[in-house]
């Protein structure tokens, strides 16, 4: 698995938060009853085009140990990094015991992983899948179905 060590600049190597990759969406035109309906469809598609590359770069699969597969990491959901210092957001149900309300005790044994990068000699790439280990659960809001995890990039750099 690839390392998610921070670079000398302190940014994650997967490039999710590079300069000028994210621009806040433009303000929606306001009508007499708020920002809708004038220009919504036209503006909405441009917002998606502007933010999609940064969103894709920041999105990771969450793989947690699967007891029925000898503890092999198995995809349970997705989430994304929201800061350069390792804060990660996902849905609360992703880190819960299936069919229950309790948070899984093995989340810290999980992986946050990008999609597999296949080697492409013509592009100069080799095998590698950027990923992070040992996410810690910091906050869960069941009503909003949101969970906040923290990844220690320094600890992940030490495993490389």
Query: Residue 46's pLDDT band (boundaries 50, 70, 90)?
Result: confident
Residue 147, in any domain of the structure: yes
| CATH at 95 | 2.40.10.10
Domain that holds residue 110: 59-158
Q: Give the DSSP letter string of 80-119.
A: EE-STTSEEEE-GGGGBPTTSSSBPTTGGG-EEEPPPB--
pLDDT digits (tens, 9 = 90+) for 61-79: 999 999 888 888 899 999 9
Residue 95 clears pLDDT 90, i.e. is over it? yes
This prediction has a pTM of 0.63
3-state DSSP helix/strand/coil percent for the chain, to nearest 5? 25, 30, 45
Number of structural domains found in the chain:
1
Asked if residue 101 lies in contact with residue 140, where contact means CB atoms within 8 angstroms, the answer is no
Query: Residue 153's pLDDT band (boundaries 50, 70, 90)?
Result: confident
pLDDT digits (tens, 9 = 90+) for 99-116: 888 999 999 999 998 876
Residue 88, in any domain of the structure: yes
Residue 8, in any domain of the structure: no
Residue 67, in any domain of the structure: yes
Asked if residue 64 lies in contact with residue 133, where contact means CB atoms within 8 angstroms, the answer is no
Residue 50, in any domain of the structure: no
Residue 33, in any domain of the structure: no
Residue 125 clears pLDDT 60, i.e. is over it? no
């Amino acid at each position: 698995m690839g390392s998610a060590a921070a670079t000398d600049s302190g940014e994650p190597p997967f490039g999710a938060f590079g300069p000028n990759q994210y621009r806040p969406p433009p303000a929606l035109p306001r009508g007499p009853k708020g920002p809708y309906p004038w220009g919504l469809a036209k503006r909405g598609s441009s917002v998606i085009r502007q933010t999609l590359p940064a969103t894709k770069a920041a999105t990771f699969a969450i793989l947690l140990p699967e007891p029925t597969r000898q503890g092999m990491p198995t995809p349970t959901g997705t989430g994304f990094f929201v800061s350069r210092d390792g804060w990660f957001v996902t849905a609360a149900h992703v880190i819960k015991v299936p069919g229950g309300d309790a948070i899984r005790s093995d989340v810290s044994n999980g992986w946050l992983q990008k999609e597999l990068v296949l080697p492409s000699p013509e592009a100069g790439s080799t095998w590698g899948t950027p990923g992070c280990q040992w996410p810690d659960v910091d906050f869960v809001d069941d009503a909003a179905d949101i969970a906040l995890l923290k990844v220690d990039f320094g600890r992940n750099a030490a495993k490389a």
